[in-house]
Homo-oligomer: A and B are copies of this chain.
């Protein structure tokens, strides 16, 4: 229950912070909506391709603050997704093994 609550909180905040980034980069750097969302995700997950980078001073300053605030949130959001998929797979393998043992 608590874990579901935490993931829902993470989902909510992730959506919120990506919306802010998308809106900011669209307005200030003049990129398209998808490009601005794409850049926000690429930045806060620390992938950082560099195909889009802020050219204005406000954009660079915002990006510094955006990373400080958002990086921990996106790492926190992405980690349980991976764990969930691995745990699912693990359960499946272990059930099969139990069957073979009996």
User: How many chain A residues touch B (Cβ–Cβ < 8 Å)?
Assistant: 51
Contact of A82 among B8, B43, B45, B71 (CB under 8 A): B71
- Is B49 within 8 A of A61, CB to CB? no
Is there an interface contact between A61 and B34, defined as CB atoms closer than 8 Å?
Answer: yes
A69 close to B (CB within 8 Å) = yes
A79 interface residue (CB < 8 Å to B): yes
Which of B41, B45, B89 contacts A13 (CB under 8 A)?
A: B89
Contact surface of A with B, Cβ cutoff 8 Å: 5-6, 8-10, 12-13, 34-35, 37-38, 41-43, 45-51, 53, 57, 60-61, 63-64, 67-83, 85-86, 89-90, 93-94, 97
